[in-house]
Amino acid sequence: MVSFGVASSRLNAVFSEVKNKWITGLAFFRYLTLQKVINYLLLRSSFHLSQLLQKPLVWGKPTTLSIEPTTSCNLRCPECPSGLRSFTRPTGMLQEQLFERVIDQVKGHLSWLHLYFQGEPFLNPRFMEMVNYADSKGIFTSTSTNAHYLGEKQVTEVLKSGLKQLIVSMDGITQEVYEQYRVGGNLEKVQEGLKLLVSERGKAKQNFPRIVLQFLVTGQNEHQLHALKSWAKEMEVDELQLKTTQIYDFESGSDLIPSDLGYSRYIPVGQGKWALKKKPENKCWRMWQGAVATWDGKVVPCCFDKDASHVMGELKNQSLAAIWGSISYFNFRKQLLADRTQIEICRNCTE
Ligand code: SF4
């Protein structure tokens, strides 16, 4: 009887995950055009050919873009430079004029826009207008938030904005555990905001944004997974994602590494030392798929370059297409194909 109950709840979880992916996928396909599909296929084929030839060829333009609404953040998470206020790059807010100019340039080939890199997007006062602008140009939009700003006004705006996916970071199911990683966070506020969004979305009979609850599994919160799953089910969030945590100095271990190594990017290798679970290969689809931009328009290779140490170009005075085909990008991709361990940010990356 017990095992039947467990099997049935697993089946329900799988069913709701498939349903959510289906709804998200349908929305994504609705925004696709022939031009975007051809662009994607060109990127894919040039990615494979580049590995074969050991030479970077890029035939398309970015199909995804992450852009940072702001570097400001209300929390102080220990593995995040926004939280630690440890950036060497300037901090600030993405301006609408720059954002709209970029969107106008990329709307023909961009299939997914993630309005997030570092910081808390809802702190940018023009954030919702930006989402709305991208949506009106036929681009699928998503964002990530710590959900401290989901009051009545923001929830109404979110529902009107056209946002398709909202990822909420919540890494504990009690305040005591939650604030160990989300330092300065208020779990009750997060949960109230989520509850409000789910209920208002239901009242508005809308399917979007899809709400994804993201939980970074650490040594401090792994014992709460069971309670978390029950809570997520009760809250009717659309998807629960259990994520592994990136740790900067993992070689000597960390309290953040969970004991269940299924949720860890690292494995012990003896004598108190740790290594990446997966040996990095000299390839990276992300370098062919899309770009990441900081609030002030610096294009960087990917979201691991949090402090913008590899600037490929500046959107303030160049188009994304020109930056994408620049010599800086070429050299970065070339190094990646030759020996990725020579690039510092790529060494601790599981891509
Ligand atoms: S860190 Fe390097 S390997 Fe990882 S996603 Fe970025 S470019 Fe690719």
Which residue among 66, 304, 340, 350 has the greatest number of ligand 1 atoms within 8 angstroms of its CB, and so is best to mutate?
304
pLDDT tens digit sequence for 304-332:
999 999 999 999 999 999 999 999 999 99
pLDDT tens digit sequence for 211-235:
999 998 999 999 999 999 999 999 8
Which pairs from 227-231 meet CB under 8 Å and 24+ separation?
227/173, 228/173, 229/13, 231/173
Atom of ligand 1 nearest to the CA of 284: 8
Atom of ligand 1 nearest to the CA of 302: 6
pLDDT band at 301 (very low <50, low <70, confident <90, very high): very high
Q: Find out whether the beta carbon of 240 lies less than 6 Å from any atom of ligand 1.
A: no
| pLDDT above 70: percentage of residues in the chain | 96
In this prediction the pTM is: 0.91
H/E/C letters for each residue in the chain? Answer: CHHHHHHHHHHHHHHHHHHHHHHHHHHHHHCCCHHHHHHHHHHHHHHHHHHHHCCCCCCCCCCEEEECCECCCCCCCCCCHHHHCCCCCCCCECCHHHHHHHHHHHCCCCCEEECCCCCCHHHCCCHHHHHHHHHHCCCEEEEEECCCCCCHHHHHHHHHHCCCEEEEECCCCCHHHHHHHCCCCCHHHHHHHHHHHHHHHHHCCCCCCEEEEEEEECCCCHHHHHHHHHHHHHHCCCEEEEEECCCCCCCCCCCCCCCCHHHCCEEEEECCEEEECCCCCCCCCHHHHEEEECCCCEEECCCCCCCCCCCCEECCCCCHHHHHCCHHHHHHHHHHHHHHHHCHHHHCCCC
Cα–ligand 1 centroid distance for 330 (angstroms):
14
In the predicted model, is pLDDT for residue 6 greater than 70?
no
Cα–ligand 1 centroid distance for 110 (angstroms):
20
Which residue among 117, 345, 347, 350 has the greatest number of ligand 1 atoms within 8 angstroms of its CB, and so is best to mutate?
345
In this structure, the residue with its CA closest to atom 1 of ligand 1 is 346
Q: Find out whether the beta carbon of 312 lies less than 6 Å from any atom of ligand 1.
A: no
Per the prediction, the chain carries an average pLDDT of 92
Cα–ligand 1 centroid distance for 233 (angstroms):
34
